[in-house]
């Protein structure tokens, strides 16, 4: 197991309630894990435990253990963990601070003390894979939203992490930007074999691409399984305030009326099922 | 009525952000859409005087924004920014919402009435003593709307009001917006969430590279090929088209229409 979370509970200093309660979770190498939950359910808090920001930089009451590639995060520095786990946040603007695209990607690498040749190689690779080749000398604030977020991903990728944790990376982007970032995530998982942990409100995407999905509610994992299993629980998801894909909401209505057997259908599957029913 | 007349805006030494845009806003829910960088926020900032036209005019209920202060205009036009977490500065929710009305010089009674009404409107009753920073994303967004409501502006601009919100919080924000429209407010939604537009908007203005390329009803809007403007149809409409169901605004309409066809 690449990640093992054991009986993890966390309470922010001065907070009354625990943000995470007794979480147990394993993530396999190469797996694509989706995390769902309403705002305040603990998604972001959980993401911050994978590279040690919790408990090292953000203080609070931390119980249980998180192991990343065998390292106990409590006993391992954030700098060390960052070479294994890359973290990408919601707002790309808050993650970019260099004058050019190239410097942005090189920044983390220089801090690793790599030789210039290796830095160049990794930088070229990261920019190519994120589709940012040709923009090396651009001023990051001048990029589009999708480009900025891909640059944030490129900077993290250049560190060659085995795991990429993305916390709502598309929520600030326009539809084109969302599509660019999500296709990139798919590519990194399927072609580069990078383990993905993704918090995403675009649940259509998780339904079609995630290997496994967990649902958090008030700091606890309350559903876990393949997307096809989790999205069958439409009533639970709706009650929790989770966005359910339109195709699933429609299928759910037909399932309630005994017309369809399954609710967890993506757009294509739903259209095909309904087409045979209305015979067009 | 807000009238935007032949508005141009050119940022200092930078590209032209708005090119000859004209539109009106009345008691309606108007969606201002377009990809990132199309000029939506620049346009919206003209409506309460945060930006002044490089050329052209913006007239808010008869007042030309060139001749009025932001303070005056913000009593008529409320602006709820995206990512509101940066705007809170009071120690609790009550004080945060009371801040605006207090500055208007209202009586203590009136302030309390307004805060109570504003918090109830956004389902934050009972949160009076909480610190704004302890709220979740959805709660912060609703608090930002409450702060504006307490000023009782006739027009409300909401920049991506449901971005980053889970479905339940988004639903309660949508409910607030519908209620405000019923009460006679004019609402401008700035968004690229096409599902939100489909559910909520009555009229749509589409900006692309600073130019108004479309102004019409929601039905007409979704007949455009949105891919040309880096936007995309909501999943519901795509499904509905593939099954020749026609224009529907929500899941219920779709299901009802398809069930009717199955029975026929």
- Cβ of A250 within 8 Å of Cβ of B236? The answer is yes
Q: Which residues of A151-161 are buried (b: 16+ CB within 10 A; e: fewer)?
A: bbbbbbbbbeb
Which chain B residue shows the shortest CA-CA distance from A249? Answer: B251
Range of the domain at B243: 234-264
Partner-chain contact A91 B235, CB within 8 Å? no
Contact list in B for residue A236 (CB cut-off 8 A) is none
Residues of chain A contacting residue B167, judged by C-beta atoms under 8 Å apart = 38, 238, 241-244
Q: Average the pLDDT over A143-158 and give the result.
A: 90
Structure tokens at A155: 């900077």
pLDDT < 70: residue spans in chain B: 84-86, 164
Distance from CA of B82 to the nearest CA of A (A): 9
CA angle in degrees (0–180, nearest 5) for B70-B50-B106: 30
Statement to judge: residues B33 and B63 lie in one domain = yes
* pLDDT at residue number B192: 85
Question: In whole numbers, what is the pLDDT of chain A averaged over residues?
Answer: 93
- The partner residues of A116 in beta bridges, in order of sequence, read none
Rounded distance, CA A48 to CA A88, Å?
10
What's the CATH number where B95 sits?
Answer: 3.40.50.300
Answer yes or no: is the ipTM higher than 0.90.
Answer: no
Q: What is the pLDDT of residue A88?
A: 93
Check whether residue B239 and residue B141 sit in a common domain.
no
A145/B36 touch (CB, cutoff 8 Å), yes or no? yes
* Helical residues (DSSP H) of B104-234, grouped into ranges: 108-121, 137-149, 167-182, 194-200, 218-221
What DSSP string describes B210-255?
TEEEEEEEHHHHTTS-GGGGT----HHHHHHHHTT----SSHHHHH
Instruction: Please tell me if residue B236 touches chain A, with a CB cutoff of 8 Å.
Output: yes
> Do B202 and B238 sit in the same domain of this protein?
no
b/e burial code for range B1-22 (CB count within 10 A of at least 16 → b):
ebbbeebebeeeeeeebbbebe
CA gap A56, B192 in Å, rounded? 37
Q: Which residue has the tokens 């199955």?
A: B262
> For A169, phi and psi rounded to 5 degrees?
-70, -15
Residue-wise pLDDT tens digits, A241-256: 888 999 999 999 999 9
Mean pLDDT of A198-218: 95
Give the count of beta carbons closer than 10 Å to the beta carbon of residue A141: 9
Same domain, B168 and B244: no
Helix (H, G, I), strand (E, B) or coil at B177: helix
DSSP B14-48: S-EEEEEEEEEE-SSEEEEE-STTSSHHHHHHHHT
CB pair distance less than 8 Å for B239 and A91: no
- Answer yes or no: do B35 and B155 share one domain: yes
Q: Is B262 an interface residue toward A (CB < 8 Å)?
A: yes
Give the number of residues written for chain B.
264
| Higher-scoring residue by pLDDT: A147, B211 | B211
Determine the residue among A246, A247, A251, A274 to mutate to test chain B binding: the one whose Cβ has the most chain B Cβ atoms within 10 Å.
Answer: A246
Q: What pLDDT score was predicted for residue B82?
A: 77
The rounded distance, in Å, linking the Cα atoms of B46 and B156 is 13
Given the structure tokens 């739903």, which residue do they identify? Answer: A270
- Closest-CA distance of chain B to residue A237, Å: 9
pLDDT, residue A8, reads: 98
Q: What pLDDT does A237 receive?
A: 94
Count of domains in chain B?
2
Structure token digits, residue A152: 């944030």
Question: Tens of pLDDT along A46-71?
Answer: 999 999 999 999 989 999 999 999 99
- Residue A178 pLDDT > 90: no
Residue with tokens 């309350």: A222
Cα separation of A156 and A169, whole Å? 13
Tell whether B193 and B113 lie within a shared domain: yes
Q: Are the CB atoms for A79 and A96 separated by under 8 Å? A: no
On whether both B214 and B258 belong to a single domain, the answer is no
What is the token pair recorded at B189?
Answer: 């939604």
Indicate the Cα dihedral angle B203, B208, B214, B215, nearest 10°. 40
In angstroms, the separation between the Cα of residue B103 and the nearest Cα of chain A is: 32
Q: Which domains does chain A have, with CATH numbers?
A: 3-227 (3.40.50.300)
Contacting residues of B for A201, CB less than 8 Å apart: 164, 166
In this predicted structure, what is the pLDDT of residue A280? 63
Q: Which of B36, B169, B192 sits opposite A241 (nearest CB)?
A: B169
SS3 state of residue A72: strand
Per the CB < 8 Å rule, is A39 touching B238? Answer: no
Residue B5's SS3 state is strand
pLDDT at A24: 98
Q: Residue B90's Cα: distance from chain center in Å?
A: 24
- With a pLDDT cut of 90, the percent of chain A lying above it is 78
Residue B176 and residue B130 share a domain: yes
Kindly tell me the sign of the dihedral angle through the C-alpha atoms of A125, A130, A133, A135: negative
Considering the domain architecture, whether residues B97 and B135 belong to the same structural domain is answered as yes
Judged by a CB distance cut-off of 8 A, whether residue B165 touches chain A is yes
Tell me the two tokens of residue B251: 């899941």
Instruction: Please give the pLDDT value at position B176.
Output: 85
Q: Does one domain contain both B128 and B33?
A: yes
Based on the domain organization, do B179 and B93 belong to the same domain?
yes
B207 in contact with A at a CB cutoff of 8 Å?
A: no
Partners of A174 on chain B (C-beta within 8 Å) are 35-36, 192, 230-231
Are B29 and B121 in a shared domain? yes
């Amino acid at each position: 197991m690449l990640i093992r979370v054991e009986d993890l509970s966390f309470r922010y200093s001065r907070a009354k309630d625990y943000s995470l309660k007794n979480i147990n979770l394993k993530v396999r190498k190469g797996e694509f894990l989706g995390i769902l939950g309403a705002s305040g359910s603990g998604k972001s808090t959980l993401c911050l435990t994978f590279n040690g920001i919790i408990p090292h930089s953000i203080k609070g009451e931390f119980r249980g253990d998180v192991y990343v590639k065998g390292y106990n995060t409590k006993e391992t520095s954030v700098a060390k963990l960052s070479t294994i786990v890359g973290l990408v946040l919601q707002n790309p603007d808050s993650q970019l601070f260099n004058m050019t695209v190239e410097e942005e990607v090189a920044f983390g690498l220089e801090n690793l003390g790599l030789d210039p040749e290796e830095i160049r190689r990794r930088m070229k690779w990261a920019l190519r894979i994120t589709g940012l080749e040709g923009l090396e000398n651009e001023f990051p604030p001048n990029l589009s939203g999708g480009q900025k977020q891909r640059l944030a991903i490129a900077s993290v990728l250049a560190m060659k992490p085995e795991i990429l944790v993305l916390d709502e990376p598309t929520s600030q982007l326009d539809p084109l930007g969302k599509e660019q970032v999500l296709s990139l995530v798919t590519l990194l998982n399927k072609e580069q074999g990078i383990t993905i942990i993704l918090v995403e409100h675009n649940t259509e995407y998780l339904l079609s691409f995630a290997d496994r999905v967990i649902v958090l509610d008030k700091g606890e994992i309350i559903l876990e399984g393949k997307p096809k299993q989790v999205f069958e629980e439409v009533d639970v998801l709706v009650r929790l305030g989770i966005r359910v894909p339109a195709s699933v909401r429609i299928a759910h209505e037909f399932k309630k009326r005994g017309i369809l057997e399954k609710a967890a259908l993506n757009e294509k599957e739903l259209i095909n099922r309904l087409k045979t029913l209305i015979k067009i | 009525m807000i009238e935007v007349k032949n508005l141009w805006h050119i940022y200092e030494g930078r590209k032209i952000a708005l090119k000859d845009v004209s539109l009106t806003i009345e008691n309606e829910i108007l969606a201002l859409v377009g990809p990132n960088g199309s000029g939506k926020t620049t346009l919206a900032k003209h409506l309460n005087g945060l930006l002044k036209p490089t050329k052209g005019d913006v007239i808010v209920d008869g007042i030309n924004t060139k001749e009025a202060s932001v303070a005056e205009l913000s009593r008529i036009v409320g602006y709820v920014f995206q990512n509101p977490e940066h705007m809170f500065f009071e120690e609790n929710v009550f004080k945060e919402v009371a801040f605006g009305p207090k500055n208007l010089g209202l009586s203590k009674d009136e302030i309390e009435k307004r805060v109570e009404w504003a918090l109830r409107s956004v389902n934050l009753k009972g949160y009076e003593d909480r610190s704004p920073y302890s709220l979740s994303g959805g709660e912060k967004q609703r608090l930002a709307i409450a702060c504006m409501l307490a000023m009782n502006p006739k027009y409300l601009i909401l920049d991506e009001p449901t971005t980053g919100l889970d479905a339940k919080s988004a639903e309660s924000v949508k409910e607030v917006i519908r209620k405000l429209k019923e009460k006679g407010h004019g609402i401008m939604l700035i968004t690229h969430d096409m599902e939100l537009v489909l559910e909520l908007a009555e009229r749509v203005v589409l900006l692309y590279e600073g130019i108004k390329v479309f102004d019409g009803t929601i039905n007409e809007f979704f007949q455009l090929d949105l891919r040309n403007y880096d936007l995309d149809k909501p999943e519901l409409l795509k499904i509905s088209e593939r099954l020749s169901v026609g224009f529907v605004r929500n899941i219920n309409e779709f299901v009802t229409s398809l069930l009717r066809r199955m029975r026929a």
